[in-house]
A and B are shown apart, each in its own frame.
Chain A
Amino acid sequence: MIINHPLLGPRDAAEFVYLGDASLMNRPEWKGEDASEEQTEKTLDAYHDYLYIRENKAGEHKELWYHEQGDRSWLVVTRHTISHEITKVELARDVAVANGNKS
């Protein structure tokens, strides 16, 4: 496969390391210090779904790839899981900022 890196142009996917569904960028908020039991359970549910449950789509899939043998950037790649066609490649950092991800 070839990933058309937004900064570097086409690179063999062998240069990248795959992580999985781009939803892994949507890390739930921590329960906070001194959370109630209920809040803890709710947060655990959210973390469970975040880490373990996947839509696992047969179709267009937004997914995370890391350019380990390249510029060390994380990318969000939109790729079809049946045809493998790639229709979009973005810098994950840009996506994260647009999402409002924050520490």
Chain B
Amino acid sequence: MSSLAPTTAPAPLRALTALDDFSEDMYGVNVVEVTNKGIVSVAIPNASKAAFSKAVTKSYKVDLPEVGLFTQSKTNNTRFLGLQQDQLFVLFDYAGDRAVDEISAKVNSDKQLVYLSDQSDSWVTLNVSGENCLAALERICSIDIHPDSFPVGSVARTSMEHMATIIIHESEGSYLLLSLRSFAHSFLHAVTTSIKNVS
């Protein structure tokens, strides 16, 4: 630590990713930390449902998802995750600090329709894909993610190894796993242990 008192304005803050941009190909499973995503939760009062749905269709050209599914828009690669009856998550490409403003501008301009909350820093996101991926997930995921039951386009909130997890089947054989950021190291450990154990 410097012993001299700085006289100038402080340097801008440095952002860290939860897992130092972890990326590894292990025994046929590719595990990559996904970064630069905005995550915004949207709470939708019953009365606003229709209007909000319209706003989304207008700005993003997609419908709102049913619970358990996501819809995907080309705009910023945005996914609307149907997590709860009156709440969804918006997951999109974004590197800034003001994810709420980003969404608000598009779908909540009058600030009254829905309630937004920034979740971008709340989650660590892993992308797992590859041949042994399902076998590895079988060790920690209690819900049925066989492609027949959990096809591409599905999302579920569950827990793995005592950690809250959102699992997204984003494309054929490729899954996004979101867990709470403070658990990042334990979560990664759970995933990589599974991969090792089934190798």
Flag whether B83 is at the interface (Cβ < 8 A): yes
How many angstroms from the CA of A72 to the CA of B164 in the assembled complex? 12
Is B84 a contact partner of A69 (Cβ separation < 8 A)? no
Measured between C-beta atoms, what is the minimum distance from A95 to chain B in Å?
14
Task: Please classify the interface of chain B as helix (H, G, I), strand (E, B), loop, or mixed, using the class held by over half of its residues.
Answer: strand
Question: What count of chain A residues pass the 8 Å CB interface test?
Answer: 14
Is A11 a contact partner of B143 (Cβ separation < 8 A)? yes
Question: What count of chain B residues pass the 8 Å CB interface test?
Answer: 13
Measured between C-beta atoms, what is the minimum distance from A21 to chain B in Å?
24
For the A-B complex, the count of residue pairs with Cβ-Cβ distances under 8 Å equals 34
Flag whether A9 is at the interface (Cβ < 8 A): yes
Q: Chain A residue with minimal CB distance to B143?
A: A11
Flag whether B68 is at the interface (Cβ < 8 A): yes
Q: CB-CB contacts of B63-96 with A at 8 A, as 1s and 0s?
A: 0000110000000000000011101000000000
Measured between C-beta atoms, what is the minimum distance from A10 to chain B in Å?
8
The answer, among A8, A12, A91, for a CB contact under 8 Å with B156, is A8
Is B83 a contact partner of A71 (Cβ separation < 8 A)? yes
Is A7 a contact partner of B68 (Cβ separation < 8 A)? yes
B residues in contact (CB < 8 Å) with A: 67-68, 83-85, 87, 142-143, 156-159, 164
